[in-house]
Homo-oligomer: A and B are copies of this chain.
Amino acid sequence: MPRIMQETSKRHLYKGKTIGFVPTMGALHSGHLSLVKRAKSENDIVVVSIFVNPLQFGPGEDFEKYPRDVEKDMEKLRDVDADILFVPENKNLCPEGFATHFIIEGISDRLCGAFRPGHFSGVATVVCKLFNIVRPVRAYFGQKDFQQTVVIGRMVEDLNMDIEVVTCPTVRESDGLAMSSRNVYLRGEERTAATVLYKAISLSREMIEAGVSGPEEVKARLNEALRSERLVSEIQYAGVYDPKTLLDLNEFKRYNLVAGAIRIGGTRLIDNVLVEAVKARQ
């Protein structure tokens, strides 16, 4: 099946058509659909893939219970007029004898990578494969998974892949919670409590925009705000980072990544915003 997709893409390419690509793990929500709409507006053909990539799940993570509903996904994709849906099977994508893995040094090990060893290596390996199969001119990713966009951008640049990586704004529920296929795990009061992450990050943004002295002060308030929600069972990281290197910032740069990863009960949530520092503080 990867071969058929590849031949289809090649036919379109050689006719001079541009392909926009939205790789997903399915369980599509408005965030995914916003990527498809953006891709539709910028390319002749839009390919969406659904593949729950086993390489990016660690032991004890939720690979088995990750939500899957291809029928419903297909309906949603029809509504936004996606052209091609590519749903490879694992046995075709990573067959026996598969032996190739990526290391993207540094950026893969920070933030989420510190808590999910091998995760970004698994992401990069499969995204590289999908890129070679689908052969897009542009590929679309949501800003919610900010580190993913940095890792993939690095891989594309390092491997001279002729692809533009487009990062699209995080789509949110009306109360601010970043859309995520994993939000279905949140039960009852957990769902309400989950809004704490975006609220705390928004507070950080306001502090930076109001001209607070430095990242340390923001980080302290951010963590305090997260700790104030009793259903937060773990703060994996929360702070102000360099959007390129993902390293902790000691002083503000022009663009500052405020990001956090927490657990509410058993559910892991991530979110981030990019904040431009006020001019006087740069």
Contact = CB atoms under 8 A, between A and B. Distances in A.
Given A14-B14, A14-B16, A16-B14, A158 B102 contact: no
Given A97-B154, A100-B158, A132-B159, 15 more contacts: A6-B160, A6-B162, A14-B16, A99-B104, A99-B107, A99-B158, A100-B102, A100-B124, A100-B154, A100-B155, A100-B159, A101-B103, A101-B105, A129-B160, A133-B160
Give the 6 A-B residue pairs with the shortest CB-CB distance, closest first: A100-B158, A99-B105, A132-B160, A101-B103, A133-B160, A129-B160
Interface in A5-32: 6, 10, 13-14, 16
Given A6-B162, A159-B128, A160-B132, A154 B101 contact: no
Interface in A119-157: 124, 128-129, 132-133, 154-155
Interface in A237-275: none
A133 B156 CA distance: 12
Contacts of A211: none
B128 A162 contact: no
Interface size class of A (residues with CB under 8 A): 20 to 34
A100 B124 CA distance: 10
Contacts of A159: 100, 128-129, 132
Interface string A100-121: 1111111100000000000000
22 contacts: A6-B160, A6-B162, A13-B14, A14-B14, A14-B16, A98-B158, A99-B104, A99-B105, A99-B107, A100-B104, A100-B155, A100-B158, A100-B159, A101-B103, A128-B159, A129-B159, A129-B160, A132-B159, A132-B160, A132-B161, A132-B162, A133-B160
Contacts of A103: 100-103
Interface in A67-121: 97-107
A160 B98 CA distance: 11
A103 B102 CA distance: 6
A154 B99 contact: yes
Contacts of A98: 158
